C-alpha cells in the first residue's frame, strides 16, 4: 500500500488549479508603496495570472491532490 504525499501548505495557499488543469496565481507588487507604481502596472497586477507550462510540473508536485 502506497503512502499519501503531503501537500505543501505554503503552496496550497498561493496556487489554485483551474478545471482545465492550469495553475492560477495572484500577481506580486500590490501590497504597499503603491503611489510610485504606474496605473498601468497596478491595473495589470489586479488580474490573476497563470503559470507557464514549463513551471507547472514543479507546483503539481507540491499540491498533488488539488
Helix/strand/coil for 66: coil
Q: What are 10-64's pLDDT values in tens digits?
A: 999 999 999 999 999 999 999 999 999 999 999 999 999 999 999 999 999 999 9
Give the C-alpha separation, 63 to 3, whole Å: 15
pTM attached to this predicted model: 0.80
The structural domains of the chain, with segments of one domain joined by +, span 9-62
Residue 27 is predicted with a pLDDT of 95
Position 2 scores a pLDDT of 83
Q: What is the pLDDT of residue 44?
A: 96
Contacts for 28 with CB less than 8 Å, ≥ 6 apart: 45
Select 9-62's CATH number: 3.90.420.10, 4.10.410.60, 3.80.10.10, 3.40.50.2000. 4.10.410.60
Amino acid at each position: 500500500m502506497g503512502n499519501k504525499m503531503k501537500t505543501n501548505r505554503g503552496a496550497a495557499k498561493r496556487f489554485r488549479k483551474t478545471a482545465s488543469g492550469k495553475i492560477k496565481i495572484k500577481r506580486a507588487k500590490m501590497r504597499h508603496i503603491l503611489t510610485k507604481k504606474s496605473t498601468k502596472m497596478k491595473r495589470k497586477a489586479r488580474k490573476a495570472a497563470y503559470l507557464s507550462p514549463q513551471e507547472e510540473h514543479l507546483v503539481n508536485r507540491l499540491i498533488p491532490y488539488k
